[in-house]
């Protein structure tokens, strides 16, 4: 991971501790991550099925514990013939309501070690997904010419003439100013990169974009293509009052994306039916 990202996460944590000192002081409060992805339990036997486990991960545990199966919570399973896509907010609303209660009021929990009760509160720190699920949760349109949720309308792209695929370029501008990759021409798009990294939108700025969007959930609704906007909806996660204060709200699970890319390449090379798509 780039050091700048690690610094940003550390800065975000410090800022939250400053904003919510009472929450940070209590070591038993939870900091949660939300991980969602689609899978098909029947694999090739039935393609008309999609299951979406919604997992909560406790990021306050040590890194070697928080990814253990027994510390992950399967909060719900969204199951149906199709992927929920943008309608995922409808399914998530009971969970978001519970998380809001956990933040606003807290719940009284018994501490078996100290033999006493305490009020536990919880914060959803970030979501962590692959790229399409990231788009579904954040409400950003993760397809088309402006697919990068950080560069937004300044996303640099090239559309291939024959295959019509879109190639996103110039992302080495996020490297440090003296990074040797910036001077490589052949490895990238033929020019040296001198531009600096773009600044992440804050929660407030995103909310300004999405607050007036009128989203109608449901598969039967026809989309109004005339009003295409790179933001598709006001994410339900904005129901959390602290969501505006988080510097990084939606993370990309790099290992997951690498697995998806590897699956696509192998599927294409071996011409496996249903897995030849090169997204």
The whole-angstrom separation of Cα 104 and Cα 124 is 12
Residue closer to Zn ion, measured from CB, 118 or 157: 157
Q: Select 120 or 200, whichever has its Cβ closest to Zn ion.
A: 200
Give the chain's length.
Answer: 279
The angle subtended at Cα 149 by Cα 144 and Cα 152, nearest 5°, is: 70
Measured from the CB atom, the residue of 162 and 194 that comes closer to Zn ion is 194
Which lies closer to Zn ion via its Cβ, residue 31 or residue 151?
151
With respect to Zn ion, which residue has the nearer C-beta, 40 or 195?
Answer: 195
Smallest distance from Zn ion to CB 206, Å: 15
We find the least distance from the C-beta atom of residue 212 to Zn ion, in angstroms, to be 25
Closest contact distance (angstroms) between CB of 198 and Zn ion is: 7
Tell me how far apart the alpha carbons of residues 142 and 119 are, in angstroms, rounded to a whole number.
Answer: 39
- Least distance (Å) between residue 172 CB and Zn ion: 11
Smallest separation (angstroms) from Zn ion to the CB of 173: 8
Taking the complex as a whole, the smallest distance from the CB of residue 156 to Zn ion amounts, in Å, to 8
Counts of helices then strands in the chain (DSSP H, E): 7, 9
Q: Which is nearer to Zn ion, 23 or 174 (CB)?
A: 174
Whole-number minimum distance, CB 155 to Zn ion, in Å? Answer: 5
Which tokens sit at 222?
């026809």
Query: Which is closer to Zn ion, CB of 55 or CB of 150?
Result: 150
Number of neighbouring beta carbons within 10 Å of residue 192: 10
Token readout for 240 is: 């959390």
Nearer to Zn ion, 23 or 157 (CB): 157
Distance CA 167, CA 158 (A): 5
The CA-CA-CA angle for residues 220, 224, 225, to 5°, reads 125
Query: What single string gives the DSSP state of each residue in 32-85?
Result: EEEEE--B-TTGGG-SS-EEEEEEEEETTS-HHHHTSGGGEEEEEEEEESS--G
Minimum CB–partner distance for residue 151 and Zn ion (Å): 3
Query: What residues line the site for Zn ion (CB under 5 A)?
Result: 148, 150-151
Provide the H-helix boundaries in the chain: 3-19, 21-25, 63-66, 88-104, 131-138, 203-210, 254-269
Bin 107: left if φ > 0, else alpha if -120 < ψ < 50, else beta. beta
Query: Are 182 and 172 spatial neighbours (Cβ–Cβ below 8 Å)?
Result: yes
């Amino acid at each position: 991971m780039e050091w700048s990202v690690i610094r940003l996460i550390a800065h975000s944590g410090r800022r939250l501790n400053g904003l919510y000192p009472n929450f940070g002081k209590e070591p038993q409060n939870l900091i949660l991550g939300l991980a969602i992805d689609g899978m098909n339990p029947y694999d090739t036997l039935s393609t008309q099925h999609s299951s979406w486990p919604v997992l909560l991960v406790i990021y306050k545990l040590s890194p070697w514990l928080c990814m253990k199966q027994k510390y992950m919570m399967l909060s719900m399973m969204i199951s149906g013939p199709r992927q929920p896509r943008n309608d995922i907010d409808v399914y998530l609303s009971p969970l978001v309501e519970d998380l809001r209660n956990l933040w606003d009021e807290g719940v009284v929990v018994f501490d078996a070690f100290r033999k006493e009760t305490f009020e536990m509160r919880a914060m959803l720190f970030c979501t962590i997904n692959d790229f399409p699920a990231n788009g579904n949760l954040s409400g950003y349109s993760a397809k088309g010419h402006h697919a990068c949720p950080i560069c937004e309308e300044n996303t640099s792209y090239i559309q291939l003439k024959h295959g019509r695929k879109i190639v996103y370029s110039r992302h080495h501008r996020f490297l440090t100013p003296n990074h040797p990759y910036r001077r490589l021409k052949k490895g990238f798009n033929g020019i040296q990169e001198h531009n600096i990294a773009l600044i992440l939108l804050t929660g407030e700025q995103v909310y300004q974009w999405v607050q007036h969007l009128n989203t109608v959930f449901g598969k039967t609704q026809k989309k109004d293509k005339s009003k295409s906007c790179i933001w598709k909806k006001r994410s339900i996660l904005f129901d959390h009052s602290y969501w505006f204060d988080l510097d990084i709200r939606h993370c990309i699970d790099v290992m997951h994306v690498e697995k998806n890319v590897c699956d696509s390449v192998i599927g294409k090379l071996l011409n496996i039916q249903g897995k030849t798509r090169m997204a």
